[in-house]
Amino acid sequence: MLKDVVFVKPLDDHRLAIRFEDGIEGVIDIASTIPFEGVFAPLADPKFFRQVRVNEELGVLGWPNGADLDSDVLYSVVTGDPIPSPVPSAHS
């Protein structure tokens, strides 16, 4: 399913407006999606949170400290569609 994120705009209250390559758009409340722990702890600071950028090479969202958010997870949150399970190989 992998849909690349092509646009992000930080909003108040740890929310992000995002758009995917297929035109789907939405607003995600990051504070209710991930805990601000470990590599995500700096995101609790609104000034740092606003430094979010699209990693154009990978199609994901990221911050200067190396924290990034998988586009499949974000797409699932925006659309309400479940994240697809990996297809088992014939050798499994």
pLDDT digits (tens, 9 = 90+) for 61-77: 999 999 999 899 899 99
* Span of 5-9, 23-27, 46-50, 85-89 with lowest mean pLDDT: 85-89
Quick: pLDDT tens for 37-47: 999 999 999 99
Amino acid in position 57: E
Can you give the residue ranges of every domain in the chain? 5-79
Tell me which H or E stretch contains 79: helix 71-79
- Cα distance between residue 19 and residue 69, in whole Å: 14
If one looks up domain 5-79 in CATH, what number appears? 3.30.2020.10
Note the residue count of the chain. Answer: 92
Average pLDDT over residues 19-38: 95
Q: Is the pLDDT of residue 48 over 60?
A: yes
